[in-house]
Amino acid sequence: MLARLAAALCCAVIAGACRDAHAAARLLPARGTGHWASVSGYRMYYEEYGRGRPLVLLHGGLSTIADSFARQIPVFARAHEVVAIEQVGHGHTPDARVAFSYEQMAEDTANLLRQLHLGAADLVGWSDGGVIALVIARRHPELVRRVVVSGANVTVDGQRPESVQQLRDATDGRDATDVVGKVQRLWLTPVVLDRDDLAQITAPVLLVSGDRDAIRLEHTVEIFEALPHAQLCVLPGTGHDTFRTAAASLNPVILRFLAGS
């Protein structure tokens, strides 16, 4: 779940991401290939870059591949087959007339990964994408080798209280069928994974947080302590938008972690 808010309630991170969308897209290598797959009765968009051990990128809520990972794809694609996915209602993937849930997004992603015959892949997720990665690791361990998540919260109180209240105020009277309204309600999911769920995740997990993250550091530490095979990376002077603003520091850490057996 994200603690960022849309429209007038968006934090500066979302606003900056929207302003820089075209600039971020220009950072992507030209050799990426866009594809479509039929998943759960709708069309889902994904891109592929590079060759090597499969690495799956899962973007944040109200974000896209380019917004979330433009500074990672050129680096990761040197040694990995990078598969970057856009969830329903995000980026190229059209919206569907269904409410958003992390469980359904995880199932959609797992179904796509099976279609691609990737085997056990490394999952790298930012914010909502990190939540989805953890759900896949819990429900479909055969699809996962290692997991990297940044800015993920598995209960609503992982967000700061003022953000939760703003979200609740924002959803009052808002159309529950538009993408922003559905994402805001998604961010209010009470519990996605509990401690018992986290304890069942067998894949090694690298948890990343900015020391000024929108997700409470205490919550990230709680996830870290519940996971049986976890490492923790806290980036100094960094907010929620770790992949964009701290790429020079974060990318080598991720690659070292993914190099493990």
Domain residues for 231? Answer: 7-258
Q: Mark residue 238 as left, alpha or beta (left: phi above 0; alpha: psi -120 to 50; beta: remaining).
A: beta
Task: Judge whether 2 lies within some domain.
Answer: no
Task: Judge whether 24 lies within some domain.
Answer: yes
Task: Judge whether 1 lies within some domain.
Answer: no
Task: Judge whether 210 lies within some domain.
Answer: yes
Task: Judge whether 172 lies within some domain.
Answer: yes
Q: 224: part of which helix (H) or strand (E)?
A: helix 217-226
pLDDT of residue 155: 98
pLDDT of residue 24: 52
CATH of the domain at 100: 3.40.50.1820
pLDDT of residue 116: 97
pLDDT of residue 3: 40
Identify whether the C-beta of residue 95 lies closer than 8 Å to the C-beta of residue 231: no
Task: Judge whether 22 lies within some domain.
Answer: yes
User: Going by C-beta distance under 8 Å and a sequence separation of 6 or more, which residues neighbour residue 99?
Assistant: 176, 182, 185
pLDDT of residue 220: 98
Domain tally, the chain: 1
Which of helix, strand or coil describes residue 61?
Answer: coil
Task: Judge whether 168 lies within some domain.
Answer: yes
Low-confidence ranges of the chain (pLDDT < 50): 2-22, 30
Task: Judge whether 72 lies within some domain.
Answer: yes
